[in-house]
Amino acid sequence: MELYPAQRLSRFTQDVFLAIGCSEKNAALAAEVLISADLRGVDSHGIARLPGYVRLYDNGRLNPNPDIKVVHETPSTGVIDGDKGLGLVVAPYAMEIAMEKAEKAGSGWISVRNSNHFGIAGYHAMMALQKDMIGWTMTHAAPLVTPTFSLEKMLGTNPLAVAVPAMEEPPFVADFASTAVAYGKFEILQRKGLPAPLGWAQDAEGNPTTDSNAVRNGGGLLPLGTDREHGSHKGYGLGAIVDIFSGVLSGANYGPWVPPFATAGFMSAQEGVGIGTGHFLGAMRIDGFRPADDFKTHMDNWIRRFRSAQSVPGEKVLIPGDPEREAEAVRLREGIPVIGAVTDQLRELAARFSIQF
């Protein structure tokens, strides 16, 4: 594991996207979104995925110069076709349209099809903050999750992010998967040869397991809530909502048909039930409800009251977004840790495209 300045990882990411044919503007935006994950401590969604995007390109599933288009719209809703572009570029485009609609109609809600992995949901939701809007982002993903009582993997980790501005306090930014844990946690345990806590996954027969390889061996990730007795049907319900808003509403694939991120495999409309991967993004103008300053002052009060709640000794009550903001402060100062296995892959990309890592 070595530490790298964000600037350097961002520059390299941009160079790789330029090398596969992205425009300057799109390569810069995609690099910013991708590295924002590393900065915020979400290592699984950052530069570690860069080789995956290149594999998408190699497999003909990524269009480096997409013609992203609004294919249907009303004053506050619409569908965008991402033209197989980088999700890292398609999603910010969709969010801009959502915010334009919110400017005029109070809110804007865009369902996206024909996209692929869009990085961390929180980045796109946070775009709304600077405009005194609430940002809302969801995306489905390839099936890893077994709904309550299912042996089949039917849903992705399907995250939701909501960003809410405050006045003097930093914003409220919830950004979480609809599963007990993200799949990245298993990959870390696999690398170390460690078991997983009970309640994260089930085995191929649907039994609780501590096998950190269970999801690869016929098992599945468990929805938030873990089992029926503790509300797994609620996590399943939340993941299903994300899937329907991202996939069925846009005309993308959905459920078990959502294409895998970076491997080859089906990708065309003919083979699936829709076009590519989908997302759902929205923005609501605060002053579509009440004056923005009133709202933000009350958000300060909300945040301060929750932050000062009496806590379990040795712990504190956090506000959604706190851990990511703290990680960002540290990593901007000290650099971003990248493990050797990832660095090796980045060096391969550097060699292939004759660019400097």
Q: What type of residue is 350?
A: A
- Closest to a second copy by CB, 256 vs 335, is 256
Q: How deeply is 237 buried, as exposed, middle or buried, from its count of CB atoms within 10 A (0-12, 13-18, 19+)?
A: middle
In whole angstroms, the minimum distance from the beta carbon of 288 to a second copy comes to: 4
Nearer to a second copy, 66 or 235 (CB): 235
Nearer to a second copy, 208 or 335 (CB): 208
Q: Which of 216, 316, 347, 352 binds a second copy (CB under 8 A)?
A: 316
What distance in Å separates the CA atoms of residue 113 and residue 139, rounded to the nearest whole number? 10
Helix axes 6-19, 24-39, angle to 10 degrees: 140
**What single-letter DSSP state applies at residue 326?**
H
CB of 155 to a second copy, least distance (A): 9
Q: Does the protein bind a second copy through residue 112 (CB under 8 A)?
A: no
Rounded to the nearest 10°, the torsion over CA 178, 180, 182, 186 is -160
Q: Is 191 in the site for a second copy (CB under 8 A)?
A: no
Considering the complex, state which of residue 86 and residue 286 has its C-beta at the smaller distance from a second copy: 286
- Residue 175: phi, psi to the nearest 5? -150, 100
Using the minimum distance from each CB to a second copy, give the nearer residue, 240 or 349: 240
Q: What is the DSSP letter of 135?
A: E
Answer for which of 192, 270, 310, 340 binds a second copy (CB under 8 A) is: 310
**152 touching a second copy, by CB under 8 A:** yes
Q: Under the criterion CB under 8 A, does residue 225 sit at the interface with a second copy?
A: yes
Q: In angstroms, give the least distance from the CB of 39 to a second copy.
A: 20
Closest CB 293 distance from a second copy, rounded Å? 13
The DSSP bridge partners found for residue 109 are: 77, 282
Q: Do 319 and 301 meet the contact criterion of CB atoms below 8 Å apart?
A: no
206 is a contact residue toward a second copy (CB under 8 A)? yes
* By the rule CB under 8 A, 250 interacts with a second copy: yes
- In which residue are the tokens 């909502």 written? 241
When the beta carbons of 85 and 225 are compared against a second copy, the nearer one is: 225
Q: Which of 6, 120, 162, 189 binds a second copy (CB under 8 A)?
A: 162
Segment lying near a second copy (by CB under 8 A), choices 48-56, 74-82, 260-268, 347-355: 74-82
Out of 35, 274, 281, 342, the residue judged to bind a second copy by CB under 8 A = 274
The H or E element spanning position 238 is helix 232-243
Q: Is residue 47 a contact partner of residue 338, using CB atoms and an 8 Å limit? A: yes
Q: Which two tokens stand for residue 211?
A: 């096998």
Q: How many CB atoms lie within 10 A of CB 199?
A: 17
Sign of CA dihedral 248, 288, 133, 308: negative
Does residue number 221 form part of the binding site for a second copy (CB under 8 A)? no
Angle of CA points 7, 123, 60, to nearest 5°? 80
Please report how close the Cβ of residue 299 comes to a second copy at its closest, in angstroms: 6
272 forms part of the interface with a second copy (CB under 8 A) = no
Look at residue 2 and give its three-state secondary structure: strand
Query: Does 126 interact with a second copy (rule: CB under 8 A)?
Result: no
CA gap 107, 281 in Å, rounded:
11
Nearer CB in complex with a second copy: 216/305:
305
- The answer to the question of residue 132 lying near a second copy (CB under 8 A) is no
241 is a site residue for a second copy (CB under 8 A): yes
Least Cβ distance, residue 60 to a second copy (angstroms): 25
Q: Which of 281, 338, 283 is nearest to 87 (CA)?
A: 281
